[in-house]
């Protein structure tokens, strides 16, 4: 008997999924437990497995399109089985309740979106020739390219010429893996300078003004929409306050250099040192290693530290579990591995959820100081600026020292001003004298 395949819940915070790639095509045999498709959730790209044996009779959601949880996305049944009743039921449900499960992303083929993807590498302006009418079938023979939204966004950010790609998706559609291969250097890149501003075709006459800027709309990724929702539930309801201090980084830099000299494969970064020191300070100040739980305040025994990682779709915070029990080489290796899989959207939910404290470091971008938004239900987050040489008073003399400014955002429901200040005091003391780490073990 034919059954509907519905959009599954692949992460705890997922509300809808985007079909990244079908691993089977219509007419293919499928077995229970066999990967059927790749789904882009709010945090990662995950495989969806078939829950039945049979044949993939009908694909209801195309690659690049989104569907809410529980919506039918395909039909599996016996070869040649009549599925008109299931198709009719799906259509009737949409007609009767058109607003019950609104889509947040329109199907790419409903409008000539592929042309918009090409526009990312060209100045906006009047078309040189008449656009052909869009079609809605998976394949085209009019010379236009089919491009998934994710592939279009990746290509635009990497400066990849979409015309130089050969799509490997259905009907020659350019999908994410095609752009990933292009990024590795196999195809030409487009100069990015022309994208900065459209140049007028002629000088402006006296009294003329520039017209409103041309623009393009791209569907927001599942991750970006989730980030937007979480920020709204953080900065508004959570009462933030901020504490800033400046830290002498000379001894921390010396420690990092000494460890890397003794253990060249460790490749310790300053951020690894910061994670270890923050974990040690959290154990000394358990009131900061806590979260507000409506009627309770939850105190954690170990420091599970979320480390903010920038990806193509937004920010994600892989978690270093029990960082207080791990050495700096262990932390460094784990952070590198987690960050690599985060950018590849291969993290499991348990690897990016449940941190007790977070660290966001923008120092590598030359940012001196900033404030970060707390990631609920955590009680605090530490914002790390760049370490740079600066004239300071040291031992009664003005000398040049490496200094770094850090700002802690605190949830005032959990962390009072004095508690936050004592935590930062301990963090600063250990960073400026990292031997404390070894004396306390």
Please measure the distance between the N-terminal and C-terminal CA atoms of the chain and give it in whole angstroms: 63
- Closest listed residue to residue 316, CA positions, set 178, 222, 219, 236: 222
Place of tokens 């292009």: 182
The CA distance from 385 to 256, in Å, is: 18
Are 66 and 19 in contact by the 8 Å Cβ rule? The answer is: yes
DSSP labels for 304-352?
Answer: -EEE-EEETTEEE--EETTGGGS-HHHHHHHHHHHHHHHHTT---HHHH
**Region at 372 (left for phi over 0; alpha for psi -120 to 50; beta for the rest):** beta
CA-CA-CA-CA dihedral for 67, 70, 72, 77, to nearest 10: 140
Q: Report residue 390 as tokens.
A: 């600066």
List, in order, residues 6 or more apart from 297 with CB less than 8 Å away: 290, 291, 414
**CA 109 from centre of chain:** 25
Both structure tokens of 380: 């605090």
**412 carries an active-site annotation:** yes
How large is the angle between the packed helices 270-284 and 328-343, nearest 10 degrees?
110
Q: How many other C-beta atoms are found inside a 10 Å radius of the C-beta of residue 81?
A: 14
Nearest to 163 by CA among 180, 133, 188, 138: 188
Give the separation between CA 39 and CA 346, rounded to whole angstroms: 11
User: For 212, which DSSP code?
Assistant: P
CB 252 within 8 A of CB 244: no
Give residue for tokens 């592929």: 114
Three-state DSSP state, 233: helix
- CB-based contacts of 396, cutoff 8 Å, min separation 6: none
Spatial separation of the C-alpha atoms in residues 347 and 349, rounded to whole Å: 7
The residues assigned a catalytic role are 412
């Amino acid at each position: 008997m034919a059954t509907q395949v519905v959009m599954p819940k692949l992460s705890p915070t997922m509300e809808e999924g985007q079909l990244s790639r079908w691993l089977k095509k219509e007419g293919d045999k499928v077995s229970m437990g066999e990967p059927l498709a790749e789904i882009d959730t709010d945090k990662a790209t995950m495989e969806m497995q078939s829950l039945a044996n049979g044949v993939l009779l009908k694909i209801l959601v195309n690659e690049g399109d989104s569907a809410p949880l529980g919506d039918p996305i395909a039909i599996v049944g016996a070869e040649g089985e009549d599925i008109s009743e299931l198709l009719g039921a799906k259509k009737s449900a949409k007609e009767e309740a058109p607003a019950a499960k609104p889509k947040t992303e329109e199907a790419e083929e409903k409008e000539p979106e592929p042309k918009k993807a090409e526009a990312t590498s060209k100045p906006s302006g009047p078309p040189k020739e008449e656009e052909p009418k869009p079609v809605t079938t998976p394949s085209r023979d009019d010379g236009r390219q089919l491009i998934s939204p994710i592939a279009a966004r990746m290509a635009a950010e990497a400066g990849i010429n979409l015309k130089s790609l050969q799509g490997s998706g259905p009907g020659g559609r350019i999908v994410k893996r095609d752009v990933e291969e292009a990024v590795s250097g196999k195809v030409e890149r487009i100069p990015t300078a022309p994208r900065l501003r459209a140049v007028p075709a002629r000088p402006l006459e006296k009294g003329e003004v520039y017209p409103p800027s041309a623009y393009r709309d791209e569907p927001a990724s599942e991750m970006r929409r989730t980030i937007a929702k979480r920020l709204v539930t953080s900065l508004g309801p959570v009462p933030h306050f901020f504490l800033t201090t400046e830290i002498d980084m000379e001894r921390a830099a010396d420690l990092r250099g000494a460890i890397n000299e003794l253990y060249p494969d460790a490749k310790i970064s300053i951020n690894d040192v910061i994670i270890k020191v923050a974990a040690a300070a959290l154990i000394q100040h358990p009131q900061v290693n806590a979260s507000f739980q409506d009627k309770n305040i939850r105190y954690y025994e170990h420091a599970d530290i979320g480390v903010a990682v920038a990806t193509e779709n937004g920010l994600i915070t892989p978690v270093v579990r029990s960082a207080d029990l791990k050495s700096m080489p262990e932390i460094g290796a784990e952070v590198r591995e987690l960050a690599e899989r985060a950018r590849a959207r291969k993290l499991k939910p348990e690897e990016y959820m449940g941190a007790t404290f977070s660290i966001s470091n923008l120092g590598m971008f030359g940012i001196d100081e900033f404030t970060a938004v707390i990631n609920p239900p955590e009680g605090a987050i530490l914002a790390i600026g760049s370490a740079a040489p600066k004239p300071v008073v040291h031992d009664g003399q003005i000398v040049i020292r490496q200094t770094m400014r850090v700002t802690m955002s605190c949830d005032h429901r959990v962390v009072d001003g004095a508690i936050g200040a004592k935590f930062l005091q301990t963090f600063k003391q250990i960073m400026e004298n990292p031997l404390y780490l070894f004396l306390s073990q």
